[in-house]
Amino acid sequence: MRIVVDLNRCQGYAQCVYLAHEVFRLSGQEALTYEPNPDDERRLQVERAAVACPVHAIVIDRLEGAERGGAS
Amino acid sequence: MTLPATVAELVRDFRANGRIVIVGASLAGLRAAEALREEGFTGSLTIIGDEPYEPYDRPPLSKQVLKGWVPADHTKLPRMREVDADWRLGVAATGLDRAAKQVRLADGEQVPYDRLLIATGTRARQWPNPTEAALQGVHTIRSRDDAARLRAALAEPPSRVLVIGAGFIGSEVASVCRELDIPVTVVERGSAPLVGALGGVIGEIAAQMQRDHGVDLRCTLGVSSLEGDSAGHVRRARLSDGTVVDADVVVASLGSIRNVEWLEGSGLAAGFWGVGCDAGGRAFDINGVVTDSIYVAGDVARAPHVLYEYEFLAMEHWDNAVFGAEVAAHNMVNLEPHYRPHLLVPGFWSGQFGVNIKSVGVPPFGDEIVFTQGSVAGRSFAAAYGHRGRIVAAVTFDHGKWLEHYGKLIERSAPFPPPPPGWDRPPDMKPMPAEFPEPGVPTEVPDVVLTGHAPSERTAEFRPRRH
Ligand SMILES: Cc1cc2nc3c(=O)[nH]c(=O)nc-3n(C[C@H](O)[C@H](O)[C@H](O)COP(=O)(O)OP(=O)(O)OC[C@H]3O[C@@H](n4cnc5c(N)ncnc54)[C@H](O)[C@@H]3O)c2cc1C
Ligand code: SF4
C-alpha cells in the first residue's frame, strides 16, 4: 500500500509508532521516518495509525484495491 | 445570449471538453491532475514526464532510502483519486509553441492544449568538471535512480564519503553516513552548514551537531578537483587549501537547476530562477504580461508573495508543490472573481543527526534572530527571525509542536521580537544578526530563494515611442 506523511503537519506525537512500529519510526526525539509503501498485510495497522494521528498527517492511497491500469 | 451567459457557457464547455496538458509528472503534476478532476474538469488530460516512473516522493530518498531501510522504488505517491489521464512517461517535452498552442515532445509528436501547466521542477546541479563528474563513485541525488545508486555504494561500504555542499540534502547524506558508521567529510564553501537557508547563527549550531556526530566538517573551503584511479573510480579530492581528502564515494550536493530549457523561445518569463507567475499561478510572458492559458506550480515556479513585500519567491518545498498545484488547478478551470491566490506560509522539515529541524516562513527574509524557547545546548529550541520589527520566519530543533504558533504570528505580521512565551524561556532573549550570506548567491537547496529582479535576464521588447 502507499502512504505519505505530511511532515510539515506531523508533530511527532508518535501515536503511529505505537500502532505500527514496522512502518513508522522516530529517529531521535521527534523526527518521524516511515516506509512509504508498506506491505499490504500492514493495512489495518496503518489505517488505525492514520485515524489515531492527532493532526491527520498520514495520507493513505484512496484508489488501492481498485484496478490501477498502468499509471492510471 | 448576454455576454455573461456566453462566458459562463464557454467555461462550462471548457470544463467538459477542454484539453489540459501537464508537463512534469511528479508531486506538483500529480496533485494538479487530481485537483482538476476534483474541480469537475472532465475534458482530456495529458501528463508528460521524462522519467519512466509514475510519480514518486523525493524527501525519503535522502533519508530512509539512503539508510537502506526503504528500497528506492518504494516511494510511489499515494493517489487521492482517479485522474483518468493519458500518461506519456519516459518522454521529455522539448519545446512550447504558444501561437499554435502545442507542446513538442522529444519523439517529435506535438501535443495540443487549451490550458497548460508547467511543473517541470528542478534537477541536481552536477559537479562542474564533466570529466571528474563522470568518474565512478561521484553522485548527485534527485531521482529515485540516483538514490538507488548511492544506496548501493553506501552498502559496500566505502572507506570514506566526501559530501560537497552542506545544505539540507548534503547534511542529510552526512547524517545517514554517520548512522551507518561510515567516515564522512563535508566540505562547505559557506561559513557553516545550512547557512543559506537558516543563517550563520543556526548554521553554527548545525556545525557543532555534525562534529559531535563525528563528521569531519570543513567550512569556508571548496573542492578544487576530484581525482580517479586508472579504472576511472574516484579516489581523492583536492581542497582549495591544498589539503587532500581520500574518498571513494563523492556526493555533490550543490543545489539545483530549474528545468526551463524546454521553454526557450516560447516568450515566457522563464530563466535561472524558474518561471515567473502571478500569485494565482498564471505564467508571465517575457514582458511581464500575464498569460491566460499557461500556469506554473512547484519547484519551477516563482511568484510574488504579499507577506514578503511582493518579492518573487522560488520555494523548493514539498508543501509548496502540493498547495501550488491545487491553486493552479482551481484557477485553470475558473474565472475571475473566483481565482484563488497561492498564499502559503512556507514550511519545511529535515531529519538529521536524530534532530527534527523545521521552519516556517522565509528565514532568509529576516535579518535578525532571537531564541524564544528551549535550550540551544540541548538542541531543542525555537527561534524567530525578524525584519524591520516584524516576525517573518521561525525555526525549531526538536520543538516542532510550536511551529504552528509561530506560523500564526507570521501570518499576522506580529512584532519582532515576539512576546515571550509563558514558559520554557531561554536565559537570553536578545535579538542578534541572523548572519545570512549575501542575497542572490545560489544556496544548497531545497530552500526558499528570494529571487528579486534579475537584470541579466532583461529580454523584454521595449516599445518605441511615437513622435
Ligand atoms: C533528495 C531530496 C530530499 C528532499 N527533502 C525535502 C524535505 O525534507 N522537505 C521538503 O519540504 N522538501 C524536500 N525536497 C523537495 C521536494 O521533493 C520538492 O519540493 C518537490 O519534489 C517538488 O515537486 P515538483 O513536482 O515541483 O518538482 P519535481 O519533483 O522536481 O518534478 C518535476 C518532474 O518533471 C520532470 N521534467 C523535467 N523537465 C521535463 C521535461 N522537459 N519534460 C517532461 N518532464 C520533465 C522531472 O524529471 C520530474 O519528474 C527534497 C528533494 C530531494 C531531491
Ligand atoms: S501520529 Fe501523526 S503527528 Fe504523531 S508522529 Fe505519527 S504522523 Fe506524526
Query: What pLDDT digit, counting tens, does each position of B211-220 carry?
Result: 999 999 999 9
Angle, CA B17 vertex, CA B12 and CA B19 arms, to 5°? 115
Give the Cα separation of B38 and B325 in Å (integer).
12
Task: Flag the least confident range among B16-20, B50-54, B434-438.
Answer: B434-438
pLDDT at B445: 46
> Is B355's CB within 8 Å of A60's CB?
no
CA quadruple B61, B62, B68, B71: dihedral, nearest 10 = 0
What average pLDDT does this structure show over B80-100? Answer: 97
Using an 8 Å Cβ cutoff, are B386 and B369 in contact?
A: yes
Using an 8 Å Cβ cutoff, are B157 and B178 in contact?
A: no
Of A4, A60, A70, the CB nearest to B57: A4
Q: What is the pLDDT of residues B38-65, one digit of tens each?
A: 999 999 999 999 999 999 999 999 999 9
Task: Flag the least confident range among B109-118, B330-339, B442-451.
Answer: B442-451
Question: What angle in degrees, to the nearest 10, is found between the helix axes of B144-155 and B168-179?
Answer: 30
Give the Cα separation of B94 and B107 in Å (integer).
9
Smallest CA–CA distance, residue A6 to chain B, in Å, is: 8
Smallest CA–CA distance, residue A23 to chain B, in Å, is: 10
Smallest CA–CA distance, residue A17 to chain B, in Å, is: 15
What average pLDDT does this structure show over B107-129? Answer: 97
Residue with cell 531521482: B143
pLDDT band at B80; cut points 50, 70, 90: very high
pLDDT at A69: 44
Instruction: Decide: B316 in ligand 1 pocket, CB within 6 A.
Output: yes
What average pLDDT does this structure show over B13-35? Answer: 98
Interface test with A, best of B77, B88, B406 (most A CBs within 10 A): B77
A51 reaches B (C-beta below 8 A):
no
What average pLDDT does this structure show over B240-259? Answer: 96
Chain B (65-84) residues lying within 8 Å, Cβ to Cβ, of chain A: 69-70, 74-84
Residue B455 has pLDDT above 50, yes or no: no
Task: Flag the least confident range among B4-8, B248-252, B256-260.
Answer: B4-8
Residue B443 has pLDDT above 60, yes or no: no
Using CA atoms, how far residue B428 sits from B208, B367, B420, B422, B424, in Å, is 20, 18, 11, 15, 12
Chain B (125-164) residues lying within 8 Å, Cβ to Cβ, of chain A: none
Identify which has the larger pLDDT, B111 or B440.
B111
What average pLDDT does this structure show over B183-195? Answer: 96
> What's the grid cell of residue B259?
528545468
Question: What angle in degrees, to the nearest 10, is found between the helix axes of B318-332 and B27-38?
Answer: 40
Smallest CA–CA distance, residue B241 to chain A, in Å, is: 36
Instruction: Decide: A13 in ligand 2 pocket, CB within 6 A.
Output: yes
pLDDT band at B448; cut points 50, 70, 90: low
> Is A72's CB within 8 Å of B349's CB?
no
pLDDT at A56: 95
pLDDT at B223: 97
Instruction: Decide: B58 in ligand 1 pocket, CB within 6 A.
Output: yes
Nearest chain A residue (CA) to B347: A8
What distance in angstroms lies between residue A31's CA and the mean position of ligand 2's atoms? 10
Contacts of B319 in chain A (CB under 8 A): 6, 8
> Is A35's CB within 8 Å of B87's CB?
no
What does pTM read for this prediction? 0.95
Q: Give the ranges where B227-317 is alpha helix by DSSP (H).
A: none
Q: Which atom of ligand 1 has the smallest separation from the CA of B93?
A: 42
Of B84, B87, B355, the CB nearest to A31: B355
> Is B355's CB within 8 Å of A29's CB?
yes
Give the Cα separation of B204 and B368 in Å (integer).
15
Write the ipTM.
0.92
Q: Which ligand is nearest to the CA of A56?
A: 2
The candidate with the shortest Cα–Cα distance to B88, out of B123, B120, B52, is B52
What average pLDDT does this structure show over B244-252? Answer: 98
Instruction: Decide: B62 in ligand 1 pocket, CB within 6 A.
Output: yes
Chain B (179-208) residues lying within 8 Å, Cβ to Cβ, of chain A: none
Task: Flag the least confident range among B8-12, B355-359, B397-401, B456-460.
Answer: B456-460
Residue B440 has pLDDT above 80, yes or no: no
Using an 8 Å Cβ cutoff, are B319 and B346 in contact?
A: yes
B212 reaches A (C-beta below 8 A):
no
pLDDT band at B419; cut points 50, 70, 90: confident
Using an 8 Å Cβ cutoff, are A50 and A6 in contact?
A: no
Side-chain-side CA neighbours of residue A47 (13 Å)? 9
B51 reaches A (C-beta below 8 A):
no
Residue B439 has pLDDT above 70, yes or no: no
Q: What is the pLDDT of residues A14-41, one digit of tens each?
A: 999 999 999 999 999 999 999 999 999 9
What average pLDDT does this structure show over B125-141? Answer: 97
Q: What is the pLDDT of residues B290-328, one digit of tens each?
A: 999 999 999 999 999 999 989 899 999 999 999 999 999
Q: State the DSSP string of B42-54.
A: -SEEEEEESSSSP
Identify the sign of the CA torsion B27, B30, B31, B32. Answer: positive
pLDDT at B402: 93
Residue B395 has pLDDT above 80, yes or no: yes
The share of chain B scoring above pLDDT 90, in percent, equals 87
Contacts of B420 (CB under 8 A, 6+ apart): B372, B429
Residue B432 has pLDDT above 60, yes or no: yes
Residue B6 has pLDDT above 60, yes or no: yes
Instruction: Decide: B372 in ligand 1 pocket, CB within 6 A.
Output: no
Instruction: Decide: A11 in ligand 2 pocket, CB within 6 A.
Output: yes
Mean pLDDT of the residues in chain B? 93
> Is B70's CB within 8 Å of A35's CB?
yes
